[in-house]
Amino acid sequence: MIPDWQLPPGVDRGLWDYLHSNEMVAGYDRQMEVSPLAAVDVRFCESQFPTPGRLVDLGCGTGRLCRHFAARGFECVGVDLSEEMLAKARENNPTVTFTVANLVDLAQIADGTFDYAACLFSTLGMVRGLEHRWAAVRSAFRVLKPGGRFVVHAHNRWFHRLGWQRFRTSDITMSQAYGGAPLTLHHFSKPEIVGLLGSVGFIVRDVSPVGLTATGRLASAWWVPGLRAYGYLIAAEKPPAA
């Protein structure tokens, strides 16, 4: 087992254990199939990625987004830190390119090579430390072409069901269903995630609240979404070249 001092930047013991759990990987596809949050992720991406192009999925897991968009003529690349996840992704998507990388440092991907990028299912919230989340968002900005679109799914810090703990911390720790150290997930306020994207140069084009409903949409989205939204789907754009 890798010692704590050798863990990659932005990765703690809980996340490392989660990413390398064979039991988690074995059931991951089924979990995504029945999750309304996963379905609303894809629908939102469809609205933001209108024409085929090059798409990189940052934190691709077993390749669900790549599979969906590759079937629609997109050239897809999946990036994940989990070799176990990527082995399943390659099995699911034999024509798609998958590569092991830490989202904090995508040095192996050249600047301005993608039309679209996605970081879904609160993957960004799994990155520990503000400086590392900033580096991950900055990497996404760098690998996009001018005018490229970036979609992020972030959990909402002020979701009312989180109870009083949301007033103490935005880093919510929970036990893992698959064993291993507890997993900590950063929850974002709407101004925080919008500000983080803007700090690296993105222009935020859309912020859509996500609900815990059968469709993944927030019913009556006009009514106190800041407390009722389980999370946000955000679409941002890298400014076009001058």
3-state secondary structure of 11: coil
Residue-wise pLDDT for 157-209, tens only, equals 999 999 888 889 999 998 887 778 999 999 999 999 999 999 999 999 999 99
Across the range 39-56, mean pLDDT stands at 96
Q: Which helix (H) or strand (E) holds 32?
A: helix 22-34
Enumerate domains of the chain plus CATH numbers: 8-237 (3.40.50.150)
Query: Cα–chain-centroid distance for residue 146?
Result: 21
Residue keyed to tokens 């040095």: 107
**pLDDT tier at 215 (50, 70, 90 boundaries)?**
confident
Of 101, 119, 118, residue with least CA distance to 110: 101
Q: How far apart are CA 42 and CA 38, in angstroms?
A: 7
pTM comes to: 0.95
**pLDDT band at residue 242 using 50, 70 and 90 as cut-offs:** low
Instruction: Answer whether residue 4 shows pLDDT above 90.
Output: no
Please tell me the distance from the alpha carbon of residue 23 to that of residue 36, in angstroms, as a whole number: 22
Contact between 207 and 129 (Cβ < 8 Å): no
Pairing outcome for strands 183-186 and 171-174: antiparallel
> Distance between CA atoms of 199 and 13, rounded to whole angstroms?
28
Percentage of residues in the chain having pLDDT higher than 70? 99
What per-residue confidence (pLDDT) applies to 36?
85
pLDDT digits (tens, 9 = 90+) for 90-135: 999 999 999 999 999 999 999 999 999 999 988 999 999 999 999 9
Task: Give how far the C-alpha of residue 150 lies from the chain's centroid of Cα atoms, to the nearest Å.
Answer: 10
